[in-house]
Amino acid sequence: MLIKKNSEVPWSEITPRWLYLNRRKFLTGVFGLTAGALAGQTLRELAWPTQKVQAAKLSVAAKSPFSTTEQVTPYDDVTHYNNFYEFGTGKEDPAMNATRFQTSPWSVKVSGLVDKPRTFSVEELQKLAPLEERIYRHRCVEAWSIVVPWIGYSFSALLKEVSPQPKAKFVAFESYYSPSQMPLGSRAGIELPYIEGLRLDEAMHPLTLLCFGMFGESLPNQDGAPVRMVIPWKYGFKSIKSLVKIKLVEKKPDTTWNLANPVEYGFYSNVNPGVDHPRWSQAKERRLGEFFRRNTLMFNGYDQVASLYTGMDLRKNF
Ligand code: MTE
């Protein structure tokens, strides 16, 4: 995501990801063995400390029929090229700065227009429905994309547990925010805590994932531990990380990026190659690790959501 005053072109275009990655691999390969072995630590770890936080294995009941068969993006790339503004605005910042983030104990409060409001511990949440592995395409508004084997279940399972009332039309989400644990948050250029929202029918769609892990393990801190949303047909910024509050509401809720820059970031933010970002095209994307850009697909290729938007002008409702 970009704050206009800082830059006029996407980060992905300033330092193409493949170039950045190859530079890292080159440095690691050439120097990691010699200087690193001497120091008892690889250069790669010095320059880009790898997350050392303990990850728990998550057993998955089933692979999901919603999974793509496309090649999964390497773990190292998925976990070292992140947007998590609470831990810095650079792509490598979250991996470096979130290592000591306290994610246990953790609870998520579900409130608002529901018959059974409740605060769940993350352990309780994980047991609400069988965990599935879902391999989703993940398309960032900055025109890069990844393919990730997430672990979680359809968010609708949680909604059913709290019984939304008929007046509930939207779901508002809020991330954890602690200035002491996230000192860089005050320089993020966006208002924190990070907030997001979905229409209730979008939140109920089976593709909408309540996510606890990736690559067979619990989520790394920089990827939104211990629980986040993943909405694969929307630009990545809708997939809010490190969730602490969920509220069912009647009116369309505010969202972080819509508040920060309403001209550039709408409420819906469906992936749409036909509607450009005011400052760059959305027609193509660079899959991390690939040289050539590929065409971006409407709804990121998840055509099964098209009926949610029947009759809507998706240029106006961008
Ligand atoms: N959630 C919080 N709390 N803070 C953030 O800065 N960034 C968003 C989204 N969720 C963000 C967030 C953006 S801009 C993107 S592209 C995705 O997280 C990135 O997810 P990833 O780092 O797992 O690829």
Q: Is residue 256 within 6 Å of ligand 1 at its C-beta?
A: no
**Rounded mean pLDDT of 279-300?**
97
Identify the residue whose tokens are 């609870």: 107
User: According to the model, what pLDDT value does residue 22 have?
Assistant: 53
We report the CATH number of the domain holding residue 204 as: 3.90.420.10
Calculate the alpha carbon distances from 44 to 25, 110, 199 in Å: 9, 41, 43
User: According to the model, what pLDDT value does residue 25 have?
Assistant: 53
Mark whether 36 and 164 lie in a shared domain: no
Mark whether 130 and 201 lie in a shared domain: yes
Calpha distance 289→43 (Å, rounded): 21
Residue 315: inside a domain: no
Pocket test for ligand 1, best of 83, 85, 244, 269 (most atoms within 8 A of CB): 83
User: According to the model, what pLDDT value does residue 11 have?
Assistant: 44
Mark whether 123 and 238 lie in a shared domain: yes
On the CB side of 39, CA atoms within 13 Å amount to 12
Domain count, the chain: 2
Residue 54: inside a domain: no
- Which is more confident, 246 or 61? 246
Calpha distance 19→303 (Å, rounded): 32
Cα 147 to ligand 1 centre (Å): 15
Residue 298: inside a domain: yes
Pocket test for ligand 1, best of 87, 237, 261 (most atoms within 8 A of CB): 237
Residue 278: inside a domain: yes
Cα 141 to ligand 1 centre (Å): 11
pLDDT in tens, 17-29: 444 555 555 444 4
Q: Is residue 176 within 6 Å of ligand 1 at its C-beta?
A: no
Calpha distance 159→274 (Å, rounded): 33
Mark whether 98 and 137 lie in a shared domain: yes
pLDDT in tens, 193-242: 999 999 999 999 999 999 999 999 999 999 999 999 999 999 999 999 99
Mark whether 167 and 243 lie in a shared domain: yes
Residue 93: inside a domain: yes
Count of CB atoms within 10 A of residue 56's CB? Answer: 10
Mark whether 82 and 154 lie in a shared domain: yes
pLDDT averaged over the chain?
Answer: 89
Tokens representing 165 are 């009332």
User: According to the model, what pLDDT value does residue 55 have?
Assistant: 85
**Rounded mean pLDDT of 6-24?**
47
Mark whether 69 and 35 lie in a shared domain: no
Choice among 32-41, 79-88, 120-129 with the minimum mean pLDDT:
32-41
| pLDDT grade for 40, boundaries at 50, 70 and 90 | very low
Residue 314: inside a domain: no
Residue 2: inside a domain: no
Mark whether 297 and 166 lie in a shared domain: yes
pLDDT at residue 6 above 60? no
**Rounded mean pLDDT of 86-100?**
97
**Rounded mean pLDDT of 230-258?**
98
| pLDDT grade for 119, boundaries at 50, 70 and 90 | very high
pLDDT at residue 62 above 90? no
| pLDDT grade for 53, boundaries at 50, 70 and 90 | low
Mark whether 123 and 200 lie in a shared domain: yes
Mark whether 118 and 251 lie in a shared domain: yes
Mark whether 153 and 243 lie in a shared domain: yes
Mark whether 85 and 224 lie in a shared domain: yes
**Rounded mean pLDDT of 168-189?**
98
Residues 181-187: contacts with CB within 8 Å, 24+ apart? 181/100, 181/101, 181/102, 182/86, 182/87, 182/101, 184/86, 184/87, 184/88, 184/89, 184/93, 184/97, 185/85, 185/86, 185/87, 187/89
**Rounded mean pLDDT of 66-72?**
97
Cα 35 to ligand 1 centre (Å): 34
Enclosing domain of residue 114: 59-309
Share of the chain above pLDDT 90, in %: 81
Regarding pTM above 0.75, the answer is yes
Residue 16: inside a domain: yes
